[in-house]
């Protein structure tokens, strides 16, 4: 009889506790479903992000969701830790959160690459006329010794501009490394063209009239020598072709004479 009474008392005490535990587990499971839905909604939002500003907003929302998750997990750690199904669900939610973080970082890298590449394109397109004006000014100031200070200012400005040019081109190269769909060939051609302007601007310096005449004559002589060399090479090629043609005709004539020799 005592054993029966003790069993009844235990059941009376344990059943409410069991029901309470089951209720807590169910409540946490429902909350997990809400977090899972939120992470899936965030994933769709990320797939629609087309600008860096969109990603900034996404990162902010994901950070807020992550904070709510951390606080809830800490509050329900005892219930979660004692239930295998909740632990498994918790692992899946953490994996979904980490996956979103990695996807956002990869998408930011791609969008940043395109933004840097487009910025480099705009910079080079806009600064082409600037380089032309600087070269024109540098050449004008280099004609007179008294304008040496103005020439130096032009060259200093050009150096600062080319430092920005190098930065943009370096960013464009990094963008191509991050996004293989970007074609750097047209940009590279513009870059080399602007660097050529840079070299010409920095090469400008005052020279007396006699020195300028001497440089012109030397450049003229260099061109003449190149033309002379080209003509000489062309003449040798033509002579070689003619010699080859003569040898061919000679061999044909020898074979023809062989055919005319009577046989016994």
pLDDT, one tens digit for every residue, the chain (264 residues): 445 444 433 344 443 444 455 666 778 888 888 888 998 998 999 988 888 889 999 999 999 998 998 898 888 788 787 778 888 888 898 899 999 999 999 888 888 999 999 999 999 999 999 999 999 999 999 988 888 899 999 999 999 999 999 999 999 999 999 888 899 999 999 999 999 999 999 999 887 655 556 555 555 555 556 656 656 666 666 766 777 777 766 666 666 555 544 444
- E strands, the chain, in order: none
Residue 260: give the domain boundaries: 208-264
- E strands, 36-179, in order: none
Q: Looking at the domain assignment, is residue 52 inside a domain? A: yes
Q: Looking at the domain assignment, is residue 59 inside a domain? A: yes
Mutual angle of helices 185-203 and 84-141, in 10-degree steps: 40
Final residue in a domain of this structure, among 113, 134, 166: 113
Q: Looking at the domain assignment, is residue 87 inside a domain? A: yes
Number of domains into which the chain is organized: 2
Q: Looking at the domain assignment, is residue 230 inside a domain? A: yes
Q: Looking at the domain assignment, is residue 195 inside a domain? A: no
Quote the DSSP letter at residue 144.
S
Q: Looking at the domain assignment, is residue 235 inside a domain? A: yes
Q: Looking at the domain assignment, is residue 166 inside a domain? A: no
Q: Looking at the domain assignment, is residue 77 inside a domain? A: yes
Final residue in a domain of this structure, among 53, 84, 113: 113
Final residue in a domain of this structure, among 113, 135, 166: 113
Chain centroid to CA 111? 9
Q: Tell me the C-alpha to C-alpha distance, in Å, between residue 119 and each of 17, 200, 205.
A: 65, 25, 33
To the question of pTM greater than 0.75 for the whole model, the response is no
């Amino acid at each position: 009889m005592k054993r029966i009474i003790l069993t009844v008392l235990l059941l009376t005490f344990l059943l409410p506790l069991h029901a309470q535990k089951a209720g807590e587990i169910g409540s946490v499971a429902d909350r997990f479903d809400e977090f899972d839905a939120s992470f899936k909604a965030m994933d769709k939002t990320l797939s629609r992000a087309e600008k860096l500003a969109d990603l900034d907003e996404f990162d902010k929302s994901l950070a807020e969701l992550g904070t709510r998750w951390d606080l809830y997990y800490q509050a329900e750690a005892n219930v979660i830790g004692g239930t295998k199904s909740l632990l498994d669900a918790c692992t899946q939610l953490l994996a979904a959160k980490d996956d979103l973080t990695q996807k956002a970082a990869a998408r930011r890298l791609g969008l940043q690459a395109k933004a840097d590449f487009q910025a480099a394109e705009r910079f080079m397109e806009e600064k082409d006329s600037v380089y032309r004006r600087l070269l024109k000014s540098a050449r004008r100031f280099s004609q007179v010794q008294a304008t040496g200070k103005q020439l130096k200012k032009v060259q200093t400005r050009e150096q600062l501009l080319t430092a920005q040019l190098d930065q943009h081109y370096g960013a464009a190269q990094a963008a191509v490394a991050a996004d293989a769909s970007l074609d750097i060939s047209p940009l590279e051609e513009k870059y080399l063209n602007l660097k050529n302007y840079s070299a010409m601007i920095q090469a400008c310096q005052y020279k007396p009239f006699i020195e300028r005449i001497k440089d012109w004559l030397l450049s003229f002589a260099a061109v003449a020598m190149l033309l002379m060399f080209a003509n000489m090479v062309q003449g040798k090629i033509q002579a070689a072709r003619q010699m080859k043609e003569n040898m061919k005709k000679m061999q044909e004539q020898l074979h023809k004479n062989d055919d005319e020799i009577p046989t016994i």
